[in-house]
């Protein structure tokens, strides 16, 4: 691979074509990785939560973070903090599972603070998001981020009273 040339998408933006593992880490060119999440997908909030839960349960929190990122970029401005906070929780779990305990704990706490703020709490109730449970989960996991090894085993439940 020519190191001076960057992979580009159809619009000419730099995009790494390297395969990635379930935690989003780049693998060598030619290695078999997991299917990447398409970018810029507009989903309903229920579809976003269902897809993110599926990815979290599969031990792919990096990919769940990308689903939440799509929601904050394409959704109403008033919901941005909610979706960003959920993305921070997913990427915090990603970092912890990769062995970056400090970064993981920081992102888990930041995400908990964001989704626990008054505006996101009101919006989360509309979508049956378990804010109290997620905040508790994130703070507890942040306290033991140095011992996280299996992202699927640590995956939180995003919604209350619903089977995804």
Is residue 89 a contact partner of residue 56, using CB atoms and an 8 Å limit?
A: no
Place of tokens 């394409």: 74
- 1's CB contacts (< 8 A; 6+ apart) are 29
At 104 the pLDDT is 98
Indicate whether 34 belongs to any domain.
no
pTM of the complete model = 0.86
The dihedral over CA atoms of 122, 126, 130, 135, expressed in degrees to the nearest 10, equals -30
Rounded Cα distance between 22 and 25, Å, is: 7
Secondary structure class of 159 (helix, strand, coil): strand
Q: For residues 17-26, give the mean pLDDT.
A: 87
Indicate whether 163 belongs to any domain.
no
Indicate whether 30 belongs to any domain.
no
Question: Residue ranges of the alpha helices (H) in 77-156?
Answer: 80-98, 101-115, 118-126, 131-142, 151-154
Indicate whether 91 belongs to any domain.
yes
Indicate whether 144 belongs to any domain.
yes
Q: Both tokens of residue 65? A: 């973070």
At 161 the pLDDT is 72
Indicate whether 127 belongs to any domain.
yes
Is residue 128 a contact partner of residue 161, using CB atoms and an 8 Å limit?
A: yes
Number of domains observed in the structure of the chain: 1
Secondary structure class of 164 (helix, strand, coil): coil
Q: For residues 8-12, give the mean pLDDT.
A: 65
Is residue 99 a contact partner of residue 18, using CB atoms and an 8 Å limit?
A: no
Indicate whether 111 belongs to any domain.
yes
Q: For residues 46-51, give the mean pLDDT.
A: 97
Geometric angle at alpha carbon 87, from 83 and 88, rounded to 5°: 120
Indicate whether 149 belongs to any domain.
yes
Rounded Cα distance between 106 and 89, Å, is: 10
Place of tokens 């090894």: 149
CA distances from 14 to 8, 17, 71, 98 (A): 4, 9, 22, 24
Q: Which of 5-9, 34-38, 95-99, 119-123 has the lowest mean pLDDT?
A: 5-9
* For the chain, percent of residues with pLDDT exceeding 70: 89
């Amino acid at each position: 691979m020519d190191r001076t040339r960057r992979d580009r998408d159809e619009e000419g933006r730099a995009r790494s074509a390297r395969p990635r593992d379930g935690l989003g880490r780049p693998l060598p060119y030619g290695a078999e990785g997991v299917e990447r999440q398409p970018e810029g997908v507009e989903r309903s909030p229920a579809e976003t939560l269902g897809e993110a839960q599926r990815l979290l349960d599969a031990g792919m929190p990096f990919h769940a973070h990308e689903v939440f990122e799509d929601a904050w970029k394409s959704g109403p401005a008033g919901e941005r903090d909610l979706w960003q906070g959920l993305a921070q929780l997913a990427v915090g779990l990603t970092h912890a599972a990769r062995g970056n305990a400090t970064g993981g704990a920081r992102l888990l706490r930041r995400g908990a603070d964001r989704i626990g703020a008054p505006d996101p709490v009101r919006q989360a109730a509309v979508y049956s998001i378990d804010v109290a449970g997620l905040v508790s989960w994130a703070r507890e996991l942040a306290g033991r981020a140095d011992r996280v090894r299996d992202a699927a085993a640590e995956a939180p439940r995003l919604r209350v009273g619903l089977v995804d």
